[in-house]
Amino acid sequence: MSNQPQFYQQSQIPSTINRWRRNFGQNKMASAALLLLVLIVLVAIFAPWIAPYDPATQFSDLKVPPAWYDNGMSQYLLGTDDLGRDLFSRLVHGARLSLKLALIVVVLASSIGMLLGCITALSGLLVDQLIMRLMDLILALPSLLLAIVIVALIGPGLPNAIYAVAIVLIPHFVLVTRNAIKAELSKEYVTAMILDGANKTRLFTRSILPNILPALVVQLTLAFSTAILEIAALGFLGLGAQAPYPEWGTILSESHAYITIAPWTVALPGLAIFFTLLSINLVGDGLRDAMDLDE
């Protein structure tokens, strides 16, 4: 394909996916971010093999700085915290935990959200308005506020934090799905196909679904980054993963007290969250540009 000279392009129109892939590849920042993201995912998957120690083991070497400092120790690459736990192992397991949690949240929110979105888009006015009013309301509420109210109702801790964040994210999926479907439905080719007598289900799966895919994919990446951030925020506030889970936000809430004497225990987990979010956002941006979507 790439060997074809330019002026014969019309005989080889690249498929949509390939076109997207090529657009994305031309975006250097996004490609680099994708690599970083893949790296983070790999670290998360292989965490038990990568981490030299168990994240909860307390050694007697307390508050050791990272290995490249003068008084660092080589066996603790990123140093230890106030209870003598190896920071590198904690961060690596934290990656696994954060990504796993975010994945669960996004799968939950997207499946429920997209289902609801389809239902409202294809239903009559009353059902549509009812659900949309409710979604509008939840969307109007600040996400973290709603999350902490839910946590207050059902109690702090890991599983509840997942439910809380998932509930907060559902309306976004509902909105995007519904709007995208409605936009497609109003297009002329759909009207034409219906007049032609096309089977409604096949219409939906063959034509509409693929066309709303870009919007959904972008929403998924957005939701992923929001999920990681919200879970970390809840952890930081003490409402999410509880100690000694090595969730990055929880680690920050514990190391906050030692900011002046062990600043690496604050800087490094924060950097982990930052780079993860940055790479997801860059990839999301790149996808949006590649798929030629309006904001």
Q: Which residues contact 26 (CB under 8 A, 6 or more apart)?
A: none
Q: Which residues contact 106 (CB under 8 A, 6 or more apart)?
A: 169, 220, 223, 224, 227
**Tokens 């297009």 map to which residue?**
187
* Binding segment (CB under 8 A) for another protein, from list 18-26, 48-56, 72-80, 256-264: 256-264
Minimum CB distance to another protein smaller for 40 or for 266: 266
Confirm or reject binding of residue 264 to another protein (CB under 8 A).
no
Confirm or reject binding of residue 266 to another protein (CB under 8 A).
yes
Window 44 to 83, contacts with another protein (CB under 8 A)? 82
Confirm or reject binding of residue 238 to another protein (CB under 8 A).
yes
Window 197 to 226, contacts with another protein (CB under 8 A)? 225
Tokens representing residue 188 in the block: 């002329």
* Binding segment (CB under 8 A) for another protein, from list 39-47, 87-95, 119-127, 255-263: 255-263
Ranges of beta strands (E only) in 79-144 are none
Confirm or reject binding of residue 233 to another protein (CB under 8 A).
yes
Q: How far is it, in rounded angstroms, from Cα 141 to Cα 215?
A: 23
* Binding segment (CB under 8 A) for another protein, from list 69-77, 94-102, 106-114, 229-237: 229-237
State the CB neighbour count (10 A cutoff) for residue 29: 11
Contact status, residue 91 vs residue 52, Cβ threshold 8 Å: no
* CB environment 55-66: b (16+ within 10 A), e (fewer): beeeeeeeebbb
Minimum CB distance to another protein smaller for 110 or for 253: 253
Minimum CB distance to another protein smaller for 3 or for 133: 133
* CB environment 266-280: b (16+ within 10 A), e (fewer): bebbbebbeebbebb
Window 120 to 179, contacts with another protein (CB under 8 A)? 133-134, 136-137, 140-146, 148-149, 151-153
Tokens representing residue 135 in the block: 């979604």
Footprint of another protein (CB under 8 A): 82, 133-134, 136-137, 140-146, 148-149, 151-153, 225, 229, 232-233, 236-239, 249, 252, 256-261, 263, 266-267, 269-270, 273-274, 277-278, 281-282, 285, 295
